[in-house]
């Protein structure tokens, strides 16, 4: 296509094709788009797709996470923090303090009732189908 734009078409793949975290069947893509196919991600460079390598140098942050459980009890309330690139994080606390709830919210397997988790400035909850392969 003209002007550095190309069309990508999913021909019925098992895992699907994603553009910027959203599943697509047919989509026009440009240089700023990230195309996800299976466990791989690609970016358009010139007139070809090149593998986008996740080196771990990505930002990760939780913003205003609130998690409720049965009866409306808040397990987490307005939790926000950022994690520097290439970091190891430990979650510690007594039984019932919300460690498992926090980890489920941070990984997207049980999204928080309020708030967002950002992986490389991409919303994990909205783009979970693609990003789950990376976290």
pLDDT tens, residue by residue, 115-133: 999 988 889 999 887 787 6
Sign of the C-alpha dihedral computed for residues 11, 12, 13 and 16 taken in this order = positive
80 versus 15: the higher-pLDDT residue is: 80
**26, β-bridge pairs:** 9
- Domain positions in the chain are 6-51, 60-131
Residue-level pLDDT at 82: 94
Residues 6+ apart with CB under 8 A from 127: 18, 20, 21, 22
pLDDT level of residue 114 (50, 70, 90 thresholds): very high
Distance, CA of 135 to CA of 132 (rounded, Å): 6
Torsion of CA 35, 37, 41, 45, to 10 degrees: -50
Give the CA radius of gyration of the chain.
18
Q: Average pLDDT, stretch 63-88?
A: 91
Which CATH number is correct for 60-131, 3.40.630.10, 3.40.50.300, 3.40.50.11290, 3.40.50.720?
3.40.50.300
Query: Which stretch of DSSP H or E encloses residue 106?
Result: helix 99-107
């Amino acid at each position: 296509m003209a002007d550095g734009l190309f069309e990508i078409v999913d021909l019925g793949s098992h895992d699907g094709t994603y553009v910027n975290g959203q599943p697509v069947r047919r989509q026009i893509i440009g240089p700023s788009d990230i195309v996800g196919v299976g466990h791989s991600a690609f970016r358009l460079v010139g007139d070809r797709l090149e593998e986008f390598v996740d080196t771990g140098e990505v930002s990760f942050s939780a913003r205003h996470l609130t998690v409720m459980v049965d009866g409306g009890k808040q397990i987490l309330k307005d939790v926000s923090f950022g994690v520097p690139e290439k970091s190891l994080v430990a979650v510690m606390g007594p039984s019932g303090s919300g460690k498992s709830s926090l980890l489920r919210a941070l990984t997207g397997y049980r999204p928080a009732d309020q708030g967002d988790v950002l992986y490389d400035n991409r919303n994990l909850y909205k783009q979970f189908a693609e990003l789950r392969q990376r976290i």
